[in-house]
Amino acid sequence: MVQLPVYLDHNATTPCDPRVVEAMIPYFTNSFGNAASRNHPFGWQAEEAVDYAREQVARLIGADPKEIIFTSGATEGDNLAIKGVFEMYASKGNHIITCNIEHKAVLDTCKHVEKEGGEVTYLKVKENGLIDLAELEAAIKPTTILIAIMYANNEIGTIMPMKEISAIARKHGVLLFTDATQAVGKIPVDVNKDGIDLLAFTAHKMYGPKGVGALYVRRKNPRVKVTAQIDGGGHERGMRSGTLNVPGIVGFGKACELAINEMEEEGKRLSVLRDKLESALLKIEEAYVNGDKEHRLPHVSNISFKYVEGEGLMMGFNKNIAVSSGSACTSASLEPSYVLKALGLGDDLAHSSLRFGLGRFTTEEQIDYTIEQVSNTVNKLREMSPLWEMYKEGIDLNTIEWAHH
């Protein structure tokens, strides 16, 4: 029996692993102390729990515990890294290089920096969703202080060539920040082997709780500093004030420990299931994978089903299967995914895309069920799609003069 509903939106968020919840519970009730209370056992207990979690978190990315700053999530980490470097290194320069498929938390932070007098270069990705390394190097100027390139993309799952990017950054003495939200806990990420100076990630994408994340800030070779964006009691070595979210941090630590132990096997299992799903869905006529298939997270597949619209497609099975679409039919702008458009996809293909994100608790039966449901709905909707009819009649849709909204 297939277990319903099927959750295939793990790039949006993941459920908490029950082992994570179990680890967190005592820190809501008995061990509720403030980690900054230095004068009684309640505080000591909380501090000890945070220290332990800090080690677990650091170990997952090959960092020193002292290099971990706990935040409320990756959005805060992105803000702290970019604004913090921009302010701290103002005397060195004001130029930041990023790319056009970053998460909005990076893009909008860069827009903010531009308003503050910063200069930002937005590299265009290639058709496969990866940046061109020669273009990156050519964009570096004497005023460049930061390169901000995501580790893996949230919509298409493509993995950027981090080692090559960091080699370029090192060569030019520029700091490298990466939003590794989608990568950490899914594939091996090591700040030293990868040559990363700042790295943001979050617990809820890796079976931990929502509302807690971390920013890694390198302490040696080079020693990196960021200007605090939240002022107050001077927590987290002055870089992020605010009472620590002890239960959340404990859960985050546990999630990292589980990832260290299980990531490799889980990645293999999920890539087999993902490939099964993908190859079955690609048997549908006029279906295409978006983004590089090789350099890609093991659990993600983004597919466009030409001539059907993504939101309409999801409606065919969203009672039982949760996925995401690059169609933005619900947004006021009616603009489809900027990530898919950045790959050079026409708006029509971007509107026709679905993102499948598998996870720890996804079963093979659920994948079989998804293949059947998605295939049936695509066929059903094509029967009522005027575009499909035109395509079948051999009409070139580009020759039609559409009444654009």
Partner 1 sequence: MAYSEKVIDHYQNPKNVGTLDKSKNNVGTGLVGAPECGDVMRLQIEVDEATGLIRDAKFKTFGCGSAIASSSLATEWLKGKTVEEAVKIDNMTIVEELNLPPVKIHCSVLAEDAIKAAINDYRKKNGLEELKFEESVIH
Task: Supply the residues annotated as catalytic.
Answer: 329
**Residue 112 vs 341, nearer CB to partner 1:** 341
The tokens of 244 are what? 């620590």
Full 3-state SS string of 100-159:
CCCCHHHHHHHHHHHHCCCEEEEECCCCCCCCCHHHHHHHCCCCEEEEECCCECCCCCEE
Please list the alpha-helical segments (H only) found in 140-228.
162-171
Residues with Cβ within 8 Å of 282's Cβ and at least 6 positions away in sequence, in order, are 288, 289, 303
- Minimum distance, C-beta of residue 328 to partner 1, in the bound complex (Å): 8
The three-point CA angle 55-61-65 to 5° equals 30
Element of type H or E holding 24: helix 18-24
Cβ-based burial of 222 (10 A; exposed 0-12, middle 13-18, buried ≥19): exposed
**Residue 39 vs 331, nearer CB to partner 1:** 331
- Minimum distance, C-beta of residue 311 to partner 1, in the bound complex (Å): 4
**Residue 206 vs 308, nearer CB to partner 1:** 308
**Residue 294 vs 396, nearer CB to partner 1:** 396
- The binding site for partner 1 (CB under 8 A) comprises 307-312, 315-316, 327-332, 334, 336, 346-348, 351, 383-389, 397, 400, 402-405
CB contact at 8 A, 6 and 363:
no
- Minimum distance, C-beta of residue 330 to partner 1, in the bound complex (Å): 5
**Residue 272 vs 400, nearer CB to partner 1:** 400
CB contact at 8 A, 10 and 206:
no
- Minimum distance, C-beta of residue 345 to partner 1, in the bound complex (Å): 11
The tokens of 129 are what? 């969703």
3-state DSSP percent of the chain in helix, strand and coil, to 5: 40, 15, 45
- Minimum distance, C-beta of residue 221 to partner 1, in the bound complex (Å): 49
The tokens of 257 are what? 């420990």
**Residue 115 vs 405, nearer CB to partner 1:** 405
- Minimum distance, C-beta of residue 28 to partner 1, in the bound complex (Å): 32
**What are 301's strand-pairing partners?**
356
